[in-house]
């Protein structure tokens, strides 16, 4: 069976830079507080009206397609990972297909938050291996800023996230031992609520009316009240310490799983590109695996956490910086809301 290789990489980040000191104008925080807890110095925010999750995804896709040596017309499948879509529906995949004037190809949206890109990459890998598609565009794109609450009550969430997009083009390769060696996907919803955005949705309702005409007071809390909205019920929620504790267990676990599946060890890794959730998590995992600084790539300092976009942005930056060369062993890993976690081992 043929393998799949990453033939082109690309990324795009908005031009608007917001430092930690910029955020202190809106909420009670400061540069030292943010850097100590997350390692983040600044992040990018998209233009409020001129840029969307789809349009920044398009810019990353253009770059990846050009580097793969193909055109938008050659792409035969799209997988778009995001937690911040332009619309609740339809998904961003079809919007990107329209924007790039592609053929009437399939478009799949993945909603696995921080692990979304690796889930999407795994799906694309299977399609390539079976010969169903030849040029698959995988995009991770986020515009978090439109939904962030820049008040002190939300600072433990809002200081972390930024906007950006990354993309890769997957193609088949006949070269033995090259390309994606394996991918590993996991989930556990037992503690899903410690990192979640509860609305829109009806999870708080145990039932829905069987027929129209019920008085509003009998709808069991179907509608949010003004008091709930003002109290922040529609905002993202995160129990940071609890998430941290889970991440530092699952990150190294899924990396070691990928290595074991390929009869390799941590010292065989040429570059680890982790999801950029928190610099302290990356540093802990690095220490646990015994990797030197030159074998782990972090850029959360510049961009914050861009969830589904963070791995492809970091992968592209590392490649552009010459940190990834032919035949290098590259490990990608992510952990996020759900909880979901994943890894991919690639012989470049």
The residues annotated as belonging to the active site are 114, 275, 305
Judge contact between 148 and 48, C-beta under 8 A. Answer: no
Q: Measuring CA to CA, how many Å separate 178 from each of 69, 143, 267?
A: 19, 34, 19
Judge contact between 72 and 101, C-beta under 8 A. Answer: yes
Judge contact between 150 and 158, C-beta under 8 A. Answer: yes
- Look at residue 312 and give its three-state secondary structure: helix
CA dihedral 326, 329, 184, 86 (to 10 degrees): -50
Helix (H) or strand (E) holding 262: none
Judge contact between 271 and 255, C-beta under 8 A. Answer: no
Q: How many distinct helices (H) and strands (E) make up the chain?
A: 11, 13
Q: Measuring CA to CA, how many Å separate 265 from each of 118, 176, 348?
A: 21, 20, 17
**CA-wise closest residue to 346 among 250, 253, 268:** 268
Helix (H) or strand (E) holding 146: none
| Whole-number CA gyration radius for the chain | 20
Judge contact between 161 and 303, C-beta under 8 A. Answer: no
Judge contact between 58 and 177, C-beta under 8 A. Answer: no
For residue 256, the Cα-to-chain-centroid distance in whole angstroms is: 21
Q: What angle do CA 290, 159, 143 make, to 5 degrees?
A: 95
């Amino acid at each position: 069976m043929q393998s799949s290789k990453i033939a082109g990489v690309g990324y795009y980040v908005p031009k608007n830079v917001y430092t930690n000191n910029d955020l202190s104008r809106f909420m009670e925080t400061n540069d030292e507080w943010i850097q100590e807890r997350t390692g983040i110095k600044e992040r990018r925010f998209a233009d409020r009206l001129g840029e969307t999750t789809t349009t920044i995804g398009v810019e990353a896709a253009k770059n990846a397609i050009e580097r793969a040596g193909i055109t938008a017309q050659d792409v035969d499948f799209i997988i778009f990972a995001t937690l911040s879509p332009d619309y609740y529906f339809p998904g961003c995949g079809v919007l990107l297909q329209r924007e790039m004037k592609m053929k009437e190809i399939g478009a799949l949206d993945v909603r696995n938050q921080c692990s979304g890109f690796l889930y999407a990459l795994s799906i694309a890998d299977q399609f390539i291996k079976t010969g169903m598609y030849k040029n698959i565009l995988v995009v991770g794109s986020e515009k978090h800023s439109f939904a962030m609450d820049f008040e002190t009550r939300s600072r433990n969430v809002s200081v972390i996230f930024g906007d950006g997009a990354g993309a890769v083009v997957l193609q088949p390769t006949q070269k033995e031992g090259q390309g994606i060696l394996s991918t590993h996907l996991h989930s556990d919803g037992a503690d899903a609520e410690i990192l979640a955005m509860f609305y829109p949705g009806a999870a708080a309702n145990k039932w829905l009316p069987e027929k129209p005409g019920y008085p509003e007071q009998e709808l069991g809390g179907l509608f949010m009240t003004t008091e709930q909205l003002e109290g922040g019920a529609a905002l993202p929620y995160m129990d940071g310490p609890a998430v941290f504790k889970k991440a530092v267990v699952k990150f190294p676990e899924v990396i070691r799983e990928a290595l074991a599946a390929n009869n390799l060890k941590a010292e065989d890794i040429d570059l680890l590109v982790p999801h950029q959730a928190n610099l302290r998590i990356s540093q802990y995992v690095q220490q646990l695996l015994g990797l030197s600084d030159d074998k782990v790539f972090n850029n959360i300092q510049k961009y914050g956490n861009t969830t589904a976009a963070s791995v492809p942005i970091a992968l592209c930056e590392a490649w552009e910086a010459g940190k990834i060369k032919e035949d290098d062993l590259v490990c990608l890993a992510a952990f996020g809301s759900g909880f979901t976690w994943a890894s991919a081992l690639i012989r470049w």
